[in-house]
Structure formats: C-alpha cells, structure tokens
A and B are shown apart, each in its own frame.
Chain A
Amino acid sequence: MKNVTRVSVIKARASGILLCLSFLLLAFSGTTFGQLAIKGETVYTMNGDPLTNGVVLVKNGKIEAVGTASQIRIPANYRIITAKVVTPGLIDAHSVVGLNGYLNQPHDQMALDAASPMQPELRAIDAYNAEERLIEWLRGFGVTTIHTGHQPSALISGQTMVAKTVGKSVDEATIVPLAMIAATLGRDGLGSQGKSPGTRAKSIAMLRAELIKAQENSKKTEPAKDLRSEIMLKVIRREVPLIVTANKAQDITAALRVAKEFNIRIVLDGGAEAPLLMDEVKAAGIPVIVHPTMARPGGDQESLSIETASKLKAAGVPVALQSGYEGYVPKTRVVLFEAAMAAANGLSRTDALSLITLDAAKILGLDNRIGSLAVGKDADIAMYDGDPFEWTTHCTGTLINGNLVSEIVR
C-alpha cells in the first residue's frame, strides 16, 4: 500500500516535470532547436527533381527527414510551417558583408587595408560584425550562409571566412574561420598612388616571389612562423585555396599558370572572360565563382555577360554565384536576384538555384553540411510564397540551424 502511494507520487512528479518541459518546448519552439515540419507545395531538395507536396522534418537543428507528404508522417508535437515553395537556405559564395557595412563610412568599411599590397595574415574573423544590418537584410531573402572577407582590391587583401547569417557574435556565426585567401589580378589589384604593383606583370612577379618564399619555407626543418609565413605555408601546402579575382582573359590565364607552377589550390572569382577560355578553365578543374549576373559592365568587367554563369555551368565547370563587392549603392547585392537572372538567361530553375545552394556549398567544401535538403544536414531552409525567382514573390521565412530566424515577408 505504502509502496503503491510512493510510486504514484513519483509518477505525479514525473508527469509534472514532463508538463513543465513541454511548456518550455512550446515556449521555445521555433527559436531553439524546435521540432518543425516544413511543408511546401514545391520543395527543391537539390537532389533530383523538386518534390510536389514535400515535407522536411527538422529536429535538433538538423534535417531529420525529407520526402513527400505521403511518405512522411509528421509527429504530433511538431510545429508545422507551410510555404508555397521551399528551398535550401541560400548560400552567397562570395561577399564582403560583415566586414563592410551598409553605412559605407570609413568606420564600417573594413574589407581593405591599403597600406601594403599583400597581407594574407589579415583574418576576416577579426573584422566580422555579426550585427551588421546587411546581414539581416540578406537573411530576410533566404540567404543563410555567406562566404565573406577581404575585398578584391589588392594583390592579396587578406583572408575570408564562412558564416551563417545569424548570431550575435562572430563566434556564434562562424562556421569556417579561415576559408580562403583573397588575391586580385588585373586593374583592381594594382596599387594606388604609384605603389606597386603598377602593372599586371608586376602583380604576378610579386605573387610568385611570395609563393617561392613559402615554398622554401616549407622545406625548412623548422619553418618560419611569423603570421604571414604561417598563412602562406597553408597555401603552399594546399590546406587553404587562393580565391583569385580575375576577369580579363590574360588575368585568368595568369591565375591558371601560377596555380600550376606552384601546385596550389585556387578558386577563380569574377571570371568575366572565362567563356573565352572555356577549355583551359575546364581542363584545370578549377571552380569559378562568377560575378553577379547583373554586375555593371566596366573596367576589367567590361566584357561580362549575364549568360556567363549559364555557359560555364553548361560546360561542366563547377560554378557558383556571388553578391560580390560593391563600393557604393547597392552596398550589397542579393544572390537570390542574381540567380533569378541566370534562370531567365539560359538555366533551368533548379540549375540556377543550385548556383546559390549546392554548387556554392561544394566550392566552399561544405556540401556535407549545407546546400541541399538532405537528412543530417543543417536545417537551413528558405520559404517563398511563389517562384523564388520572380520579382513579385516574397521570402516568407528563413530557418538557420533549425531556428526560425526570419518571419519578415520580404
């Protein structure tokens, strides 16, 4: 008798605790690791054709299940969010947002230190402002990951990083603290006010000298470990790629030549005239993060085309789209719009979407984690009330790591 009573008391306490827990879960659902079911009339998983009436289950920040409504049973305690169209969270393959801010005043422009032409030791994480308003702006359109860092305005301007577009601090936001080293060939990489490099050939001479130094350092039994040597060692050892901004054909050729000479990893950035060198770029097996489709023609990008991304993709070159670097207005572009123009100029919707999801994830080496809606990946999801690419469609919600981080209709 006594025992029975004790058991009931324990039971009662346990159910009380459970009740409290479920209240807590309710209170935090949608904000902290809630269990969610995202239903979409069309779900672009980026694995085969889009699903009609698809469901994505989200648990503990990860994707738990993906399938059609008939395949997936939604557990009773899951909060259901519906949208017309569901896509993976968008990835901006190259940006400067977070280092450069929307005010465009000296105090919020931190993506270039013009003191010296080569500063690979400058870390992006030391400059990333997680609360920059442009990050929120991008998030509202479904952008969940940005590859950002030092801007393409010096021979080597510094490092890049990868961040989720959420978090109050750089530590919360960052998923890759050191992604690439930003190098720029051609006019945009020249020094200002008579400083070297003053010509294209000088740029390459300086870059080669730096790489030779790194090569020699790597052969030493005790390599030099100053900041610059340390980082260049990673380049020469293929641990970190150079992201080489090159738009003119001669600069693209030079980038490929240097990559071959030193057996380093590079990612081509910009690539306005890459279609002129399709065979060479393809043979080199080098990915291209193409300039924004709507970038303005001029300077080294005089010959850019809205069809470049489409042409490279059709040729089988690994390619992604970027918002790029803007010195004035708009202070950032939105990759959703840039991909929309690719969809209207030669690519299918799925292929255009891939430029800002799975293709971008692959180039960043993060496709095991982001870029598609697949079981076990981060629950980064964007929702739209129609074809995401139409100017008149809205992004209705954005999930990052399973948290509903934006409900603004934008």
Chain B
Amino acid sequence: MTKILYGTAVLLLFLLPCQAQDRATAFINAKIIPIVGQPIEQGIILIRNGKIAAVGDAGTVRISSDVQTVDLAGKVIMPGLVDSHSHIGDGSGGDASSPIQPDVRLMDGVNPRAASLQRAQAGGLTTVNIMPGSGHLNSGQTLYIKLRDGAVKVDDLLIYDKDGRYMGGIKFANGTNAIRAGGGTFPGTRAKSAALVREQFIKAQEYREKIRKAGADSTKLPARDLGMEALVEALEGKRVVHFHTHRHDDVLTVLRLQKEFGFRVVLQHVSEAWKVADEIAKAKAPASIIMIDSPGGKLETVDTKFDNGAALEKAGALVGFHTDDGITDSRWFLRSAGLAVRTGMSREKALYGMTMANAIMLDLQDRIGSLEAGKDADFIVLSGDPLSVYTHVLQTWVDGKKVFDRADPKDHLIAVGGVGAGNDGMMHLDCFDGDFGGEN
C-alpha cells in the first residue's frame, strides 16, 4: 500500500510540469529582459496554457494562490532566441538539375529527430527559419519551425498562420553562390543570374494574371505549376523572400529586383552591409547578419566585418542575426550579439536582433520575439548577462513547456558535447522524462 502511494506520488511528481501548463506558473525574482520595454530587476513572468499571461514585477503582477511559483533569483529571463537562417534538421532543397527550383519544399526532407535540433534548443533557440540548400538562384521553400519537444514528424514543429497555412519563406541567392563555369542551365555571370531570376518573376506575374482572368471559370485556369504557385505567393507578399547575398553590389541587385517585383525581402548574410548600410535602410529592407570569426573563406566574404551590426543600426535598418548552422553552432548563438556589441552596436539593438527583429522578418512579431502578455510562452533562463561568455543557457521553454534543462544530464551532454551527444534522438518528452522503470 505504501509502495502504491509512493509510486503514485512519484508519478504525480513527474506529471507536475504537465499539470502546471493548465495551472499557471509564475517565474519570480529573475531579472527579466522583455526586449519590448525596459528590463525588470525583480521580475515576474506568469505563464498559462502555453501563453504569457503577464509580465511585470510584484507591484503590477498579482499571483493568485493557485499559481505555482518558481523562484529564479539571480537568473535572467529573456525571450526565446529566434534564428532567421539555419540549416538544422538535416533538411535539403533543390538538387543539381537546375538553378531555380521554387517547387521544392524543405519540409519534405526534415528529420525531426536530428541532433542539430536538440543543440539549437540547448542554445536557447525556440523559433528557427530552416532554409534549403545552397548553390542555387532559388533552392526552394523555407520552413519556420518551433523547437518543440517530442516531435515524431515535421508537422509537430510547424507554425500555422491565421488562415491555417504552415509558415515559411522562399530562398534566393546571388553572387557566386549559383554561378558555375560552363554549368549548363546554371548562370555563368552575375548579370545572367539576375536575368534568370527576373525571367521567373515575370513568368509568375503572367501566371498570376491568367489565374485572375480565369476568375470563377476553372476551365480557363492555367495548368498547375508548383514553382509558379510559390513565386506568386512571393509576389503577393505571402511568402517572404530570404535572399542570400554578400557583396555590396549583389545587395543592391537584390534591392533592384525587390523594387521591380515588389516582393517582401529579407537580406541574408549581407557580409558587406557596412558598405551599403544607408541604401539598405532607405529601401527598408531587413538584414539578417552573421558573425564569423575571421574574414574570407570565400571571395565574397573577404570584406565582412564584425561592424555590420553597428553600421546597419546607425543607418536605421532592421538588423537580425542568424547562425547559418552548421556555419556557426546554434549553441553559441548569443555570442553573435556579444561580438556585435564589441564592435559598436548597442546592447538593446543587439538583443533585439536575436529576438524581435528576427520575429518581424518571419512575420511572427505578434506571437514571439518579446515577453509580452498574450504572446507564446517561449523564453529562456540564463545564468547571467546574455552578452557574457560566462553565461549559460539554463532552460529553454517553448509554448510554456520546458524543452531544455542544463541540470538534466542528458541535456547537459547536448549543451557541452561528448560521446553520444551527436546521436539523433527524439527530443525528450517533457512530461515523461523521468525513469519509469520500463513503463516509459
């Protein structure tokens, strides 16, 4: 009998985090950096049903007696990090058959058990734009995912818009990325690259026009073209164009194309942003930048600078950061903000660039990116200042569920690496993480 009682108690203990979802949990006494609004020294964040119910301090947030409280004194809470360009999840895009493949969906190749997704959780990432391939003018459709736990299929990671569509963008690239010497259908020069992209967008305009003219008469509709459908979505601003671009002149080519076709663009990488920061700001083009330890590695990045963030901030552009994982490791993503501040970016804009700016670039600013009532309960618990090398991500929460806990030995292994850390596995089920002696 005692054993049964004990067993039930243990079971209840393990189920507690799940119950807490419905019950509401208040994280108290941490320093809260909400990103939108001023930091709160002794903050309270109240979570209910996977959403943020309130953020404030003891004077503004009332905690009723049924709320579970978690004391995080000495810790720092900020929004879950948003990565606007990554390659985690083993996804792939277009193949070598042609330079423009807008019909290809990254979502059809994602491995929801990939170790790289777990590493991203360990880095405090909660939402990620995973991008197809490289080496094409257009390598396919990108996917916005949340790093939820226990995913068995890619669907479990998706984010849906208000019309019920799963969200994602489309990836373009210019510069040397798609150029092949004698590459058949691939471009051989920059001007040819631009011509091929323009040609496709013009086709998409014509395709859209045919659909418009057909109206209700389905017999007049053009034959379905998966690539055209995706490009029409881009033309209509329903699918953001994530444009890989490095050199200053290539950046301006993107802005020229954007102006001609009116798609919504996010400039990706933008290694020479410091040379054309004013032009980027004037075009109101958001820029997602990457911090690389040294210049070069390829010809287009020989002039990249740590200063890109500061230059874009000064010019008034919207600046976000990305990992481009595996180029940089998601686990050290916060370092990008640190290095940007090292070279003159403000702390506020650097942290904004890790969160809210990226949320805006993914059309998710109403749901994630800051700690505000009504938003998804995506947040991280840090051991200290987010910009300090000595700070560790202690916990990562997605939709009010803890998906990473450095205190858990399995999660610690993923955070620091070691034998077994690279194994693909199901991200642990938050509610059934305990040792149930075979019942698991």
Residues of A at under 8 Å CB distance from B? 101-105, 133-134, 137, 273, 275-276, 294, 296-298, 302-307, 326, 328-334, 337, 340-341, 343-345, 389-394
Chain B interface residue number, banded? 20 to 34
Q: What's the minimum C-beta distance from A44 to chain B, rounded to whole angstroms?
A: 17
Q: Which residue from chain A places its CB closest to the CB of B413 in the assembled complex?
A: A305
Report yes or no: B416 in contact with A307, Cβ–Cβ below 8 A: yes
Please measure, in the bound complex, the distance between the C-alpha atom of A103 and the C-alpha atom of B298, giving whole angstroms: 6
Please measure, in the bound complex, the distance between the C-alpha atom of A102 and the C-alpha atom of B294, giving whole angstroms: 8
Q: What's the minimum C-beta distance from B22 to chain A, rounded to whole angstroms?
A: 37
Report yes or no: B297 in contact with A297, Cβ–Cβ below 8 A: no
Report yes or no: A273 in contact with B419, Cβ–Cβ below 8 A: yes
**B434 interfacial by beta-carbon distance below 8 Å:** no
Report yes or no: A297 in contact with B294, Cβ–Cβ below 8 A: no
Q: Which residue from chain B places its CB closest to the CB of A276 in the assembled complex?
A: B419
Report yes or no: A305 in contact with B301, Cβ–Cβ below 8 A: no
**B418 interfacial by beta-carbon distance below 8 Å:** yes
**B283 interfacial by beta-carbon distance below 8 Å:** no
Report yes or no: B296 in contact with A104, Cβ–Cβ below 8 A: yes
Report yes or no: A296 in contact with B326, Cβ–Cβ below 8 A: yes
Residues of B at under 8 Å CB distance from A? 292-299, 301-302, 326-327, 329, 332, 335, 338-339, 341-342, 387-392, 416-422
Please measure, in the bound complex, the distance between the C-alpha atom of A74 and the C-alpha atom of B130, giving whole angstroms: 59
A-B contact pairs, 15 of them (CB 8 A): A101-B296, A103-B299, A104-B296, A104-B297, A297-B417, A297-B421, A328-B297, A329-B294, A329-B327, A334-B293, A344-B392, A389-B389, A389-B390, A392-B341, A392-B342
Please measure, in the bound complex, the distance between the C-alpha atom of A298 and the C-alpha atom of B326, giving whole angstroms: 10
Q: Which residue from chain A places its CB closest to the CB of B296 in the assembled complex?
A: A102
Report yes or no: B417 in contact with A393, Cβ–Cβ below 8 A: no
Q: Which residue from chain A places its CB closest to the CB of B412 in the assembled complex?
A: A307
For A330, what are the chain B residues with a Cβ–Cβ distance below 8 Å?
Answer: 292-294, 297
Q: Which 10 A-B pairs have the closest CB atoms?
A: A391-B338, A102-B296, A329-B297, A330-B293, A305-B417, A331-B297, A305-B418, A330-B294, A303-B419, A302-B422
For B329, what are the chain A residues with a Cβ–Cβ distance below 8 Å?
Answer: 294, 296
- From A133, A307, A341, B296 is in contact (CB under 8 Å) with A133
Please measure, in the bound complex, the distance between the C-alpha atom of A101 and the C-alpha atom of B302, giving whole angstroms: 11
For B387, what are the chain A residues with a Cβ–Cβ distance below 8 Å?
Answer: 391-392
For A294, what are the chain B residues with a Cβ–Cβ distance below 8 Å?
Answer: 329, 332
Report yes or no: A345 in contact with B292, Cβ–Cβ below 8 A: no
Q: What's the minimum C-beta distance from A45 to chain B, rounded to whole angstroms?
A: 23
Q: What's the minimum C-beta distance from A28 to chain B, rounded to whole angstroms?
A: 31
For A304, what are the chain B residues with a Cβ–Cβ distance below 8 Å?
Answer: 417-418
A103-B299, A303-B422, A345-B416 are known contacts. Are A391 and B294 too (CB-CB below 8 A)?
A: no
A303-B422, A305-B418 are known contacts. Are A392 and B338 too (CB-CB below 8 A)?
A: yes
For B332, what are the chain A residues with a Cβ–Cβ distance below 8 Å?
Answer: 294, 341
- From A102, A275, A334, B302 is in contact (CB under 8 Å) with A102
Q: Which residue from chain B places its CB closest to the CB of A391 in the assembled complex?
A: B338
For A345, what are the chain B residues with a Cβ–Cβ distance below 8 Å?
Answer: 416
Report yes or no: A394 in contact with B342, Cβ–Cβ below 8 A: yes
Report yes or no: A137 in contact with B420, Cβ–Cβ below 8 A: no
For A337, what are the chain B residues with a Cβ–Cβ distance below 8 Å?
Answer: 293
Q: Which residue from chain A places its CB closest to the CB of B298 in the assembled complex?
A: A104
Please measure, in the bound complex, the distance between the C-alpha atom of A306 and the C-alpha atom of B390, giving whole angstroms: 13
For B391, what are the chain A residues with a Cβ–Cβ distance below 8 Å?
Answer: 344
Q: Which residue from chain A places its CB closest to the CB of B290 in the assembled complex?
A: A329
Report yes or no: B341 in contact with A329, Cβ–Cβ below 8 A: no
Q: Which residue from chain B places its CB closest to the CB of A137 in the assembled complex?
A: B294
Q: What's the minimum C-beta distance from B407 to chain A, rounded to whole angstroms?
A: 16
Report yes or no: B296 in contact with A393, Cβ–Cβ below 8 A: no
For B421, what are the chain A residues with a Cβ–Cβ distance below 8 Å?
Answer: 297, 303, 305
- The CB with the most chain A CB atoms within 10 A, among B293, B302, B335, B390, is that of B293
Report yes or no: A329 in contact with B296, Cβ–Cβ below 8 A: yes
A392-B341, A394-B342 are known contacts. Are A307 and B418 too (CB-CB below 8 A)?
A: yes
Q: Which residue from chain A places its CB closest to the CB of B115 in the assembled complex?
A: A297
Q: What's the minimum C-beta distance from A345 to chain B, rounded to whole angstroms?
A: 6
Please measure, in the bound complex, the distance between the C-alpha atom of A373 and the C-alpha atom of B191, giving whole angstroms: 56
Please measure, in the bound complex, the distance between the C-alpha atom of A349 and the C-alpha atom of B302, giving whole angstroms: 32
A305-B421, A391-B335, A391-B387 are known contacts. Are A331 and B296 too (CB-CB below 8 A)?
A: yes
Q: What's the minimum C-beta distance from B335 to chain A, rounded to whole angstroms?
A: 6
Q: What's the minimum C-beta distance from A290 to chain B, rounded to whole angstroms?
A: 12
For A334, what are the chain B residues with a Cβ–Cβ distance below 8 Å?
Answer: 293-294
Q: What's the minimum C-beta distance from A161 to chain B, rounded to whole angstroms?
A: 20
Report yes or no: A344 in contact with B294, Cβ–Cβ below 8 A: no
Q: A306-B416, A333-B293 are in contact. List 20 more A-B contacts (CB 8 A).
A: A104-B298, A133-B296, A137-B295, A296-B326, A297-B421, A303-B418, A303-B419, A303-B422, A304-B417, A307-B416, A328-B327, A329-B292, A331-B296, A331-B297, A332-B293, A344-B390, A390-B388, A390-B389, A391-B339, A392-B341
A305-B417, A345-B416, A391-B342 are known contacts. Are A331 and B294 too (CB-CB below 8 A)?
A: yes
Please measure, in the bound complex, the distance between the C-alpha atom of A341 and the C-alpha atom of B335, giving whole angstroms: 11
Please measure, in the bound complex, the distance between the C-alpha atom of A341 and the C-alpha atom of B416, giving whole angstroms: 11
Report yes or no: A306 in contact with B417, Cβ–Cβ below 8 A: yes
Please measure, in the bound complex, the distance between the C-alpha atom of A99 and the C-alpha atom of B292, giving whole angstroms: 21
Report yes or no: A305 in contact with B416, Cβ–Cβ below 8 A: yes
Q: What's the minimum C-beta distance from A174 to chain B, rounded to whole angstroms?
A: 22
Report yes or no: A340 in contact with B389, Cβ–Cβ below 8 A: yes
Report yes or no: A303 in contact with B299, Cβ–Cβ below 8 A: no
- From B294, B339, B389, A343 is in contact (CB under 8 Å) with B389
Q: What's the minimum C-beta distance from A16 to chain B, rounded to whole angstroms?
A: 49
Please measure, in the bound complex, the distance between the C-alpha atom of A239 and the C-alpha atom of B317, giving whole angstroms: 59
Q: What's the minimum C-beta distance from B237 to chain A, rounded to whole angstroms?
A: 32
Please measure, in the bound complex, the distance between the C-alpha atom of A17 and the C-alpha atom of B155, giving whole angstroms: 84
For A101, what are the chain B residues with a Cβ–Cβ distance below 8 Å?
Answer: 296
Report yes or no: A329 in contact with B299, Cβ–Cβ below 8 A: no
A294-B329, A390-B388, A391-B338 are known contacts. Are A102 and B297 too (CB-CB below 8 A)?
A: yes
For A297, what are the chain B residues with a Cβ–Cβ distance below 8 Å?
Answer: 417, 421-422
For A344, what are the chain B residues with a Cβ–Cβ distance below 8 Å?
Answer: 389-392
- The CB with the most chain B CB atoms within 10 A, among A297, A305, A307, is that of A297
Q: What's the minimum C-beta distance from B397 to chain A, rounded to whole angstroms?
A: 23
For A105, what are the chain B residues with a Cβ–Cβ distance below 8 Å?
Answer: 299
Please measure, in the bound complex, the distance between the C-alpha atom of A326 and the C-alpha atom of B296, giving whole angstroms: 11
Report yes or no: B342 in contact with A393, Cβ–Cβ below 8 A: yes
Please measure, in the bound complex, the distance between the C-alpha atom of A294 and the C-alpha atom of B298, giving whole angstroms: 21
- The CB with the most chain A CB atoms within 10 A, among B294, B332, B390, is that of B294
Please measure, in the bound complex, the distance between the C-alpha atom of A21 and the C-alpha atom of B198, giving whole angstroms: 69
Q: What's the minimum C-beta distance from A148 to chain B, rounded to whole angstroms?
A: 14
- The CB with the most chain A CB atoms within 10 A, among B292, B332, B390, is that of B390
Please measure, in the bound complex, the distance between the C-alpha atom of A105 and the C-alpha atom of B301, giving whole angstroms: 13
Please measure, in the bound complex, the distance between the C-alpha atom of A133 and the C-alpha atom of B301, giving whole angstroms: 13
Q: Which residue from chain B places its CB closest to the CB of A311 in the assembled complex?
A: B418
Report yes or no: A341 in contact with B389, Cβ–Cβ below 8 A: yes
Please measure, in the bound complex, the distance between the C-alpha atom of A157 and the C-alpha atom of B341, giving whole angstroms: 40
For A273, what are the chain B residues with a Cβ–Cβ distance below 8 Å?
Answer: 419
Q: What's the minimum C-beta distance from A259 to chain B, rounded to whole angstroms?
A: 24
Q: Which residue from chain B places its CB closest to the CB of A334 in the assembled complex?
A: B293
Q: Which residue from chain A places its CB closest to the CB of B391 in the assembled complex?
A: A344
Please measure, in the bound complex, the distance between the C-alpha atom of A82 and the C-alpha atom of B420, giving whole angstroms: 47
For A134, what are the chain B residues with a Cβ–Cβ distance below 8 Å?
Answer: 294, 296
Q: Which residue from chain A places its CB closest to the CB of B339 in the assembled complex?
A: A391
Please measure, in the bound complex, the distance between the C-alpha atom of A332 and the C-alpha atom of B294, giving whole angstroms: 6
Please measure, in the bound complex, the distance between the C-alpha atom of A105 and the C-alpha atom of B329, giving whole angstroms: 25
Q: What's the minimum C-beta distance from B345 to chain A, rounded to whole angstroms?
A: 10
Q: What's the minimum C-beta distance from B337 to chain A, rounded to whole angstroms?
A: 8
Report yes or no: A391 in contact with B422, Cβ–Cβ below 8 A: no
